[in-house]
Amino acid sequence: MNMQTDFADTVQLDAALDVPPDPREPMTASQEARLRELSERAGEPFNSELTVQQAEDRIELLRAVVY
């Protein structure tokens, strides 16, 4: 028996836990709500067409400005 094949056959990865979200996907509803709130508090324009990664970066930046 080949140990590598046996191991690969018995281990099943949970795709939901093993793969991060695609950063090219549109921001999530919770990101949109948080970003909208922070944008208003900072007096900055709100962009509703950001990706998940862009929204995450923008939220981090606005947190630094607001807090």
Q: What pLDDT, in 10s, does the model give residues 1-42?
A: 444 444 444 445 556 667 776 778 999 999 999 999 999 999
Tell the burial category of 38 from Cβ atoms under 10 Å away from its Cβ (0-12, 13-18, 19+). Answer: buried
- The pTM score is 0.67
The pLDDT score that the predictor gives to residue 7 is 43
CA distance 60 to 67: 11
**pLDDT tier, 67 (very low <50, low <70, confident <90, very high otherwise):** confident
Determine the average pLDDT of the residues in 61-66.
93
What local confidence, expressed as pLDDT, does residue 43 receive? 95
